[in-house]
Structure 1
Amino acid sequence: MLAVVVVLFLAVGVSDGVILSKCELKQQLERGLALQIPNSADVLAQIVCHVQLTSGFNTSTIKMIAEPEEPRGGRGPRRGRSPRGKNKDDSSSNESNENKSEVWTLYGLFQLSDHVVCNSTQSRALNLCRMTCDKLIDDNTSDDIACVQALVNAVTAPIPDRKAARHIHEMISLIHQPECMAMKASSYFADCQTP
């Protein structure tokens, strides 16, 4: 584990990350993200709020977390319980071993997981965005935004693989910060208005 921490520390130290402003990110998302949903401006504000809380608008942020648990009823991840209500000490079946929490590494502005969107040497990945995770920690945000678009598209499309669907929904649950859910674009982006 110490080796992983050292590698991550070095990766952050040598990456070409930048810190964006809220207004810069808003402009980039407006150009690169197609949200075909009602209240898309408010959803954009919620996404930018998530970025502010999780990465501080720093494109080179890397964090490690325990795998989030599958959300129930759209209320976000379950906390403090093992997946699917299994006893954490029950290792008698392959299913319970498969459901044990793993460590996810979150990359870049949007804090996207190496288990879902990108390929790292640390985990087997779904690799939804067909990229290596180091692409999420450089100063080029266009591929990060394209990856968020792929994640949005995956959520709205049927996903036949249950495990892939679960991981995608877990990733989305991380983006739904409770502090950001009621965010309105008119107030959150008020300081981004041009005079």
Structure 2
Amino acid sequence: MLAVVVVLFLAAGVSESVILSKCELKRQLERGLTLPAPNSTDILAQIVCHVELTSGFNTSAIKTIAEPEEHSIVQGSRHRRSVKGKGPRTTPRPATRAPRLGSDEDKSEVWTLYGLFQLSDHVVCRSTQSHSLNLCGLTCDKLIDSDTSDDIACVQALINAVSAPNPDPKTSKPIHKMISLIHQPQCITVNTTSFFAGC
């Protein structure tokens, strides 16, 4: 009897996870996102590239990382990532120096990233582990199920927040940190035509 319960529990957990194809995600994003013109196709390719590198198109991927540095959004390539948990492995960049005890680096928080887009519990959703802006008005478990509509709506909320003419100073810093994670160096210069070839 116990074995049957365990199998049913595992089957229910597995049914929540979906691995999308690149082309399917592209179609869903084209239907669900409003991207800034004139380079909306390039932005779409960058988002899909980010998903491919960070979650492997797995709707239930979860990782933890050190809180990103704010200047990484400007420089585009400084992302400190220590990866634990589910999802594809990302190789962390080697540290240039060891942090000193008592330094600001010791005080950085751990962010948990959820779902296809690897969105942070400190910014977009509410978890029991952290304080959050909860920009998307979701519990974080909504970002790891098979329904991608709320994930895509959450990405749209991030895009809207970043492109707002008068951003809220209280929320702009963590939102920019979240956006900096999406700007993968490998994805910024992706060739849209070849990336979506076959779609």
Question: TM-score range with shorter-chain normalisation?
Answer: 0.7 to 0.9
**From 185, 189, 192, the counterpart of 2:192:** 185
Task: Specify the alignment match of 1:124 in structure 2.
Answer: 131
Cα displacement (A) at 1:136? 0.3
Q: Deviating runs (4+, > 2 A) in structure 1?
A: 76-81, 87-91, 158-162
Q: Would the aligned equivalents of 1:88 and 1:100 in 2 still touch at CA under 8 Å?
A: no
Task: Specify the alignment match of 2:117 in structure 1.
Answer: 110
Q: Would the aligned equivalents of 2:73 and 2:176 in 1 still touch at CA under 8 Å?
A: no
Cα distance in 1 between the residues matched to 2:38 and 2:69: 28
* More displaced 10-residue stretch of structure 1: 142-151 or 37-46: 37-46
Q: In the TM superposition, what are the counterparts of 1:9-48 in structure 2 within 5 Å? A: 14=13, 16-48=16-48
- Residue 148 (structure 1) aligned with residue 147 (structure 2): no
Q: Matched residue of 2:153: which SS?
A: helix
Deviations 1:4-56 (A, max 9, x none): xxxxxx99x92601000000000000000000232110110010000000000
Cα displacement (A) at 1:160? 2.6
Computed over aligned residues only, the root mean square deviation of the Cα atoms, in angstroms, reads 2.5
Cα displacement (A) at 1:73? 6.8
- Residue 136 (structure 1) aligned with residue 143 (structure 2): yes
Instruction: Report the AA paired with residue 19 of structure 1.
Output: I
Cα distance in 2 between the residues matched to 1:53 and 1:125: 25
Q: Which runs of 5+ in 1 are unaligned?
A: 1-9, 82-86
Deviations 1:116-155 (A, max 9, x none): 0000000000100000000000000000000000000000
User: What percentage of residue pairs aligned between the two structures are identical?
Assistant: 65
Q: Which runs of 5+ in 2 are unaligned?
A: 1-8, 81-94
Instruction: Report the AA paired with residue 137 of structure 1.
Output: I
Q: Matched residue of 1:104: which SS?
A: strand
Cα distance in 1 between the residues matched to 2:181 and 2:73: 15
Cα distance in 1 between the residues matched to 2:175 and 2:120: 10
> How has the CA–CA distance of structure 1 residues 72 and 135 changed in structure 2, closer, same or farther, with 3 Å as cutoff?
closer
Count of aligned residue pairs for this structure pair: 172
Task: Specify the alignment match of 1:59 in structure 2.
Answer: 59
Q: Matched residue of 1:179: which SS?
A: helix
Q: Would the aligned equivalents of 2:111 and 2:122 in 1 still touch at CA under 8 Å?
A: yes
Using the size of structure 1 for normalisation, the TM-score is 0.80
Using the size of structure 2 for normalisation, the TM-score is 0.78
Task: Specify the alignment match of 2:167 in structure 1.
Answer: 159
Instruction: Report the AA paired with residue 168 of structure 2.
Output: P
Q: Matched residue of 1:25: which SS?
A: helix
Instruction: Report the AA paired with residue 69 of structure 2.
Output: E
Instruction: Report the AA paired with residue 131 of structure 2.
Output: R
Cα distance in 2 between the residues matched to 1:47 and 1:28: 12
Cα distance in 1 between the residues matched to 2:174 and 2:100: 19
Deviations 1:132-182 (A, max 9, x none): 0000000000000000000000001132334x2111111111000011110
